[in-house]
Amino acid sequence: MAILSSSKDIELTDLETHVALCAQRRLALESRLDNLERKISHSDEKSDKIKNLFLAGLISLGAGIVGTIFAVLFKHGVLQ
């Protein structure tokens, strides 16, 4: 037979102690899950901001390239 620690012995023999410890464990797990959900939500918000910034950069780059092409075409008389 395995030797159990005294706190495990009490939990195995006393239902009220077992229930109280389970409630504490559940609260601890809920707290950890809440923290995890908050971190994931924050990460999603950061990801959305980065995507928007990247898209804005691509649009600016595209507008710059198109503007340069039109300037060169006007300079060489292709467009009047």
CA of 59: how far to CAs of 47, 49, 73, in Å?
A: 18, 15, 21
Q: Which pTM was predicted? A: 0.55
User: Does position 26 have pLDDT exceeding 90, yes or no?
Assistant: yes
Say what the pLDDT of residue 6 is. Answer: 60
**Structure confidence at residue 2 (pLDDT):** 45
Residue of 79, 57, 58 lying closest to 69 (CA atoms):
79
Q: Which residue has the higher pLDDT, 9 or 71?
A: 71
Q: Which long-range contacts (CB under 8 A, 24 or more apart) does 59-68 make?
A: none
**28 half-sphere exposure, CB direction, 13 A CA radius:** 6
